[in-house]
Chains A and B, each alone.
Chain A
Amino acid sequence: MAVIVNKEECIGCSACISACPFGAMVMEADKACITDACTVCGACVDTCPVNAITKESEQAAVKIDKAEYKDVWVFIEQIDGQVKNVSHELLGEGRKLADAMGEQLAGVIIGDEVEALSKEVFASGADKVYLVEASELKNYSTDGYTTVFAGLINTYKPSVILIGATNDGRDLGPRVACRVGTGLTADCTNLGIDEQTGLVAWTRPAFGGNIMATILCPEHRPQMGTVRPKVFKRPEQDFSKSGEIIRVASKVKGQGIRTRLLELVKVCTTSCNLEEAEIIVSGGRGMGKPENFRLIEELADVLGGVVGASRAVVDAGWKPHYHQVGQTGKTVGPKVYFACGISGAIQHVAGMSSSDIIIAINKDADAPIFKVADYGIIGDVAEVLPALIEEFKKAKAC
């Protein structure tokens, strides 16, 4: 264990007990003690008023020549030849990191006949593109893409890799990180450079959004993270820009891919792509009955938004789970989020609290949703929503 309590200095104030997110601090004979549950997060270190708790850093078992690793890479996720928004957002943020580190920004494009995408990648700020094309790589596969990505890392040695925290990104990221033996921070909502060390500071929510943790990867390279969509702004594209394309031959063989995609079933096209939506209108149990959900759909429609739902509504079978917002559903960050008849349980809020503007409509004035809302209307959704739809329709007609 690397967090240590100096028993002589401990004054038994128990400040560390409540600071520990894992309940690993206990008082024994008026002194703080650390149990097995300790994860060495160090939350207690900062709270101790007499500096009696210290975190010892253990030497990493592996020594890596960090100077060999340069440049910031962004995984360019594409589906049917379309670059996902999150990849552009990460190019924008990656540009900032690369500039701060005095390094170059590269996009990694893997697929089949996807060279044309490099124009877009340069327009979003990349200096270089690593391009790997093969017919086996047309669709995402864990094995195929991991082999290609890990191969690129071993050859070209980047210092930082950003991957969108999408379903595929969160499938690929850990597999690649593990193969090259480095650290990966999941589902980040903020990136920066740690002033003391010059390392990338990866910040992410944990504990159902109750706490935030900033993670570093000091001794291993590359430093890797998956980053949530919609956290960063999509950069202004400049199509006059170009850059170097580095073509790399694929070493993937068909039989090396142990999964086969038989079919991609689109249950909902854009209508439930909540992760990339600008406006979301969500309904909860307070909608009263499934029929009332048409009000949610109508408001979403008039605003050009998409429909979300609370867990209660999904559990009741009113809406398929693709629409569920919250800790066990989707994490969203639209410009505007309408919460209609949603009480605002912490798990729901964890999935939408990074929205720019939150609007709550609920007849219960004490509903916790109002605590996080920028605008609230206390009233019956069945009355407020039709009126709201009418207002927006009027405005649109002008």
Chain B
Amino acid sequence: MEIVVCVKQVPDTTEVKIDSVTNTLIRQGVPSIVNPFDKHALEAALQLKEKHGGKVTVVTMGPSQAKDALKECVAIGADEAILVSDRAFGGADTLATSYTLACAIKKLGKVDMIICGKQAIDGDTAQVGPEMAEHLDMAQVTCVSKIEVEGNQVKVEREHEEGYEVVETQIPVLLTVIKSINEPRFPTIKGTMKANKKEIPTWTADDMEVDPGQLGLKGSPTQVRRIFTPPQRVQGEIIKSDTAREAAAILAGKLLTAKIV
């Protein structure tokens, strides 16, 4: 199976804090990581490859430092990695990003399956996967928690608000996966050595068949009007009391009086 995994290098948003004086993000010391959902996508791809053979290619779009994310994926077990990078891609929203990635995937040739993380933890849009599938005219299943492949048949479980769906489809297909699908493996020492030696090609706009009007800012229908820090919730009342019983009675009283419950 030819499997492509799309990854994104993201700031570790769990390390981001807000400067309460200036009300801005403190980014200092915030590490760049491979988007956590994408590691589950890579793991799913590696497991399929182990079972059915084939090749796993990791693709990312981003600035040159995104190569670090690709190296990590190679160290974990990906066979090939491609960086899609060009100033012309800057300022891309999800539509332009998905278009650019779709162009890169077209250049790769035959692809049986594309696996993406459900969403990236910086943008949280969950849109690039489905939009890529549309650009490539591929079937898609989002929020996947289990994948089984038999020949051309693909059977997946898709998370739903109240449970899950069992969905059948065929390759080629694009899947986005959630975290409960697997436990991602770690890079091995051998893998890290391989990754260090690995040639990772960079594809620019000139290397792919693209319509320049659909790239970057120009190809992005949405524009950010303004960015602001959300109003912080104000700390309320701590109910002080000697015993748990008393505190509970006071709280229940307050909630019942205010008809909150």
Q: Does A267 contact B (CB under 8 A)?
A: yes
Within B59-85, the residues touching A (CB, 8 Å) are: 63-65, 85
The answer to whether B261 and A303 have CB atoms under 8 Å apart is: yes
Binding site secondary structure of chain A = mixed
A346 to B87, CA, bound (A): 33
CB-defined contacts of A175 to chain B, threshold 8 Å:
130-131, 133-134, 140
A177 to B126, CA, bound (A): 13
Within A272-287, the residues touching B (CB, 8 Å) are: 272-273, 275, 279
CB-defined contacts of A316 to chain B, threshold 8 Å:
none
Q: Name A346's closest neighbour in chain B (CB-CB).
A: B14
A153 to B26, CA, bound (A): 42
The answer to whether B236 and A375 have CB atoms under 8 Å apart is: yes
Closest CB-CB distance, A166 to chain B, in whole Å?
6
CB-defined contacts of A182 to chain B, threshold 8 Å:
95, 221
A-B contact count (CB 8 A): 316
CB-defined contacts of B37 to chain A, threshold 8 Å:
328
CB-defined contacts of B98 to chain A, threshold 8 Å:
174, 178
CB-defined contacts of B162 to chain A, threshold 8 Å:
266-270, 272-273, 322
Closest CB-CB distance, B51 to chain A, in whole Å?
21
Known contacts A39-B90, A167-B159, A175-B140: does B221 contact A220 (CB below 8 Å)?
Answer: yes
A264 to B218, CA, bound (A): 42
The answer to whether B230 and A209 have CB atoms under 8 Å apart is: yes
Known contacts A62-B213, A376-B239: does B127 contact A173 (CB below 8 Å)?
Answer: yes
Binding site secondary structure of chain B = mixed
The answer to whether A40 and B14 have CB atoms under 8 Å apart is: no
Q: Does A244 contact B (CB under 8 A)?
A: no
A215 to B30, CA, bound (A): 25
Q: Name A358's closest neighbour in chain B (CB-CB).
A: B233
Within A347-379, the residues touching B (CB, 8 Å) are: 347, 353, 357-359, 370-379
Contact with A along B113-144 (1 / 0, CB 8 A): 00000000111111111110111000111110
A261 to B95, CA, bound (A): 28
Having A142-B130, A173-B130, A385-B248, one finds 17 other A-B pairs with CB under 8 Å, namely: A43-B227, A59-B218, A167-B160, A170-B127, A171-B130, A173-B127, A174-B98, A178-B95, A262-B155, A267-B162, A322-B162, A336-B261, A358-B233, A375-B251, A377-B244, A392-B261, A395-B256
**What 8 pairs across the A-B complex have the smallest Cβ distances?**
A183-B221, A61-B213, A36-B63, A387-B248, A391-B252, A40-B91, A208-B13, A258-B139
